[in-house]
Amino acid sequence: MPPVINTIETLLVDLPTIRPHKLSMTTMACQTMVIVRMHHSDGVEGIGEGTTIGGLAYGPESPESIKTNIDTYLAPLLVGQPSCNIQALRARLNRHARGNAIAKSALETALLDAQGKRLGLSVAELLGGARQVHLPVLWTLASGDTEKDIDEALLRLEQRRHCNFKLKIGANPVDQDVRHVAAIKEALGDRASIRVDINQAWDEPAAVRGIQALQDAGIDLIEQAISAREHAGLIRLSQRFNVPMLADEAVQDARDGFELAAGGFSGAFALKIAKSGGLYGVLELAHVAKAAGIGLYGGTMLEGSIGTAASLHAWATQDDMAWGTEMFGPLLLKDDIVVEPLHYHEFGVDLPQGPGLGITLDEDKLSHYARKY
């Protein structure tokens, strides 16, 4: 008899951040993760993570809704089903439940982790094999204070932990944000690549003015300057400026990627397993991007070690991540819930080794940080 899914448990886990993390729509001082523990009839446990940013400030799924929807709607679709045929289970979830990409990603991660443990293979091997085992990782400067951000960047360079930096802007007037970014770029010079993420805060006229100034300041990449729904405007911006545009919230899945590419978008796509409903979905988007000559960027929802490891296994299967990754989520947290944290060094992070995700939960830490009801 093939193994079946016996039970699916979800926990809300609250971990404080090392400093306030300022975005255009909110400021974070704590990250809440939904941890999935999936138990199978052969005794194997698979783990997964569903994480978003700032409750409902960022998107339609919150940690609480992710947990509730898994417990109430999604888990009953999986319990009792054979656990090895992951594609059939993906189809079952998508047939009976619309949206809920983050929740589905957490469940798919747990399925892949269990299957890898069962077969003695890493998740990257299940996906075809790792083509790289050390991936570059940038760091986000998001204190909102220019001098603090410069000092933080210089420290990360000295530590050889990061040499590329992203600045979160959009909460302030355009000219103020541009001055902030330009001052940091001038201070760091050619020692680091500087990118910006506007998190959809500008309309198109403001974006034209702001991007021109950012391009003049030597910024290397502009992420999601306008609303995710404004595909035509994003295409126009990509064609108007020399500095590349990075589509993030505008490109959820392979269909979004195809529509942008067919419309003439150039630049890069931010891949996120949470946006695409899991690792298989995000790799479908990566294939569309590569076919269209659009660069890849490994994005994050500021996941902890479990969600970050899952993403790394997907990114590792790609031969070229032209814009690197931002898988720094665990470094933004004051503590961890895994036995062995991810290894960050030499401006990047190592792909975890071992079967499945290569991650083991620290039961004491998990119990300490899990939300009590």
Report the sign of the C-alpha dihedral through residues 192, 193, 198, 199, in that order.
negative
- Beta strands 193-197; 221-223: pairing state: parallel
Catalytic one among 61, 249, 303, 326? Answer: 326
Nearest to 28 by CA among 55, 51, 50: 55
Nearest to 353 by CA among 362, 366, 343, 361: 343
Q: Establish whether 168 is a catalytic residue.
A: yes
Q: By the 8 A CB rule, do 355 and 121 touch?
A: yes
- Residue 57 belongs to what H/E stretch? none
Q: By the 8 A CB rule, do 337 and 34 touch?
A: no
**Exposure string for 63-85, b = 16+ CB within 10 A, e = fewer:** bebbbebbeeebbebbeeeebbe
Catalytic one among 22, 117, 166, 168? Answer: 168
Q: What are phi and psi of 96, to 5 degrees?
A: -105, -10
Q: Catalytic residue positions?
A: 168, 326
